[in-house]
Chain A
C-alpha cells in the first residue's frame, strides 16, 4: 500500500469515524452491534487450522520444511521466518549450516521446479535466520 493510498484510507476512516460517533437519543448512547459472521463455526475452524499448521512447522525438520515450502511456491510465507525462533542454539547453528548448504549448491539440485522463485525464498529464509540470530545476541 503506497503513501497516497494510506492517506486515502486514513481520510476515509476519519470521515467515517466522525460521522458515526454515538449519537445521544433521549440522553442514551447508541451502542455498536457487530455484523454476523459469514460462517457460524469459522472461528473454531480457524483455530484448528492454525493449531495444525503451527504443530506441523514446530515438528518439522528445518531443512525438509524449507524444501517443502520452496516446492510449494505458496504465497504469504513470510511467517516461516519465525521458525528460527523455535530453535535452540544448537539447532540454529544446524539450521544455518543447512541454509549455507542450499546456498552453496546449485538450487536446482534440490528437486526444485522454479529456480528463480526458489532462490528468492532461500535468500529470504537466510535473512530471517540472520535477524533472529542478531536479536538473540544483542
Chain B
C-alpha cells in the first residue's frame, strides 16, 4: 500500500467521524495532523454543519470557544 492509499484511507476515516468526535479531536490533538483536522472542520462548517453549537457545548465557555473558532 503506497502513500496515496494510506493517506486517503486516513481522510476517509476522518470524514467518517461524527461532528462531536471531530470537534473533540480538533480541540485535544496538537500533532502533525492538526491542520488536516481543521480543514475537515472548515469543510463541514461550509456544508452547514452546526459545529459552533458543539464547540460551545464541548468547551462550555465563552472565551475559550472564541479562541478556538478563531481559525
Contact = CB atoms under 8 A, between A and B. Distances in A.
Interface of A: 1, 6, 9-10, 12-14, 16-17, 20, 32, 34-39, 42-43, 45-46, 48-50, 52-54, 56-57, 60, 65, 68-69, 72, 74-76, 78-79, 82, 85
Contact of A74 (B4, B13, B14, B35): B4
Interface of B: 2-4, 6-14, 16-21, 25, 31-36, 39, 42, 45, 52-53, 55-57, 62, 65-66, 69-71
Given A39-B16, A46-B13, A68-B4, A20 B21 contact: no
Interface of B is mostly: helix
Contact of A72 (B3, B9, B32): B3
Contacts of A52: 6, 9-10
Contacts of B12: 49
Contacts of A36: 18
A37 B56 contact: no
Contact of B2 (A1, A12, A46, A68): A68
A16 B56 contact: yes
